Amino acid sequence: MDERLYSLNVKEGTLKTCKRCKRAFTYYGYGYLYCPTCTEIDSENFQKVKDYIYENGVSQLIEVVEQTGVDEKTITIYLKEGRLEIPEGSTYYLSCEHCGTSIRSGRYCHSCAAALIKEFNTTITYNEIGSKPKNENTGKMRFLDNM
């Protein structure tokens, strides 16, 4: 008999494709759908951005890119995943993927997220919902301390 069938310590996963490198890997139901290699790279990059923002306070996107070496596309992914948030008064915001309104993080504004949930009867994670800025002037990026 196969002892793994009776072991409580063996984790079962599903085969997924890494969002970054497109290689197959076993996904255990948590994390950002990256293979172990890309997860390590992503963790290092996010830590660089987090440390920079922690040490220097709110910063403009270009400053973070230049000082950390993490590319703009990766930082934008962190914003869309809800791991970073653009502060009030910034000159740069994300756009809601449904209606195009300015949002500070995530993929959808609150009203579109509610409409999509109702329309499709699906769930959207809290991190995919960005708050609208109160006013659109000047500002810098900051680290969200909810991880």
Domain boundaries, the chain: 43-143
Is 84 in contact with 75 (CB distance < 8 Å)? yes
More confident site: 122 or 98: 98
pLDDT at 64: 92
The answer, yes or no, to whether residue 1 has pLDDT greater than 50, is no
Is 99 in contact with 113 (CB distance < 8 Å)? no
Residue among 52, 55, 86 at smallest CA distance from 69? 52
Question: 3-state DSSP call for residue 31?
Answer: coil
> Rounded to whole angstroms, what are the CA distances from 38 to 27, 84, 122?
13, 19, 28
Query: Band of the pLDDT at 8, cuts 50, 70, 90?
Result: low
Mean pLDDT of 100-113: 93
| Alpha-carbon gap, residue 25 to 31, rounded angstroms | 13
Look up residue 147 and give its two tokens: 């991880």
pLDDT at 131: 77
Mean pLDDT of 62-68: 93
At 30-50, the pLDDT tens digits run 777 889 999 999 999 999 999
